[in-house]
Chains A and B, each alone.
Chain A
Amino acid sequence: QKEVEQNSGPLSVPEGAIASLNCTYSDRVSQSFFWYRQYSGKSPELIMSIYSNGDKEDGRFTAQLNKASQYVSLLIRDSQPSDSATYLCAVKRNGGFKTIFGAGTRLFVKA
């Protein structure tokens, strides 16, 4: 079982729609959760972090965390073609220094 699992996609949504990206993790000791965006040929960029159960909103992005189900998701509202990228879910243990990444989900937003 992989430590962080994501559907590789591609996930294709029309412009203006909501894109929903999901991630599960195996280590119950995980305490910090992140979503990174990676454009093709570029390095990852942190877009959201979440530490408590529930929702966290930042502009068009909403991260959702459910520690009991070991599940993290990212919702992108009003998706734009510029959102087309690979979205990486990552987790970290409390007090740990190692960030564990999933393989990423490719998102394609059609104009």
Chain B
Amino acid sequence: DAGVTQSPTHLIKTRGQQVTLRCSPKSGHDTVSWYQQALGQGPQFIFQYYEEEERQRGNFPDRFSGHQFPNYSSELNVNALLLGDSALYLCASAVRADQETQYFGPGTRLLVL
């Protein structure tokens, strides 16, 4: 049973560029949440997707956008990258019937130069 997978594992971009991060949820899971974790901080909720719709959004600007596909996989897009966007981006999946138990993927480490 595959767990949550994310790609790529590491990424280096320059300011102003755009990036797309990908997440495949755990088998049987239909809900995907995205988090940003800066060094020394806890994960910060970006948004959650369910049934291909953004269900709730955290305090992040519109530069952060996402998508969920019919197979429940998801993408996180960040436009006009800033140095402060450098962080570990985590994807977590859950089933609708048990939203409290979420499983995190290994994350994508993004460095913006």
Contacts and interface: CB of A to CB of B under 8 A. Distances in A.
Nearest to B46: A98
Contacts of A101: 35, 42-44
Interface residues of A, number: 22
B1 interface: no
Majority-rule SS of A interface residues? strand
A109 B54 CA distance: 41
What size tier do the contact residues of chain B reach? 20 to 34
Contacts of B103: 46
Contacts of B45: 98-100
Interface in B84-101: 90, 99-101
B90 A92 contact: no
Nearest to A46: B101
Interface of B: 33, 35, 40-45, 48, 50, 55-56, 58, 90, 99-107
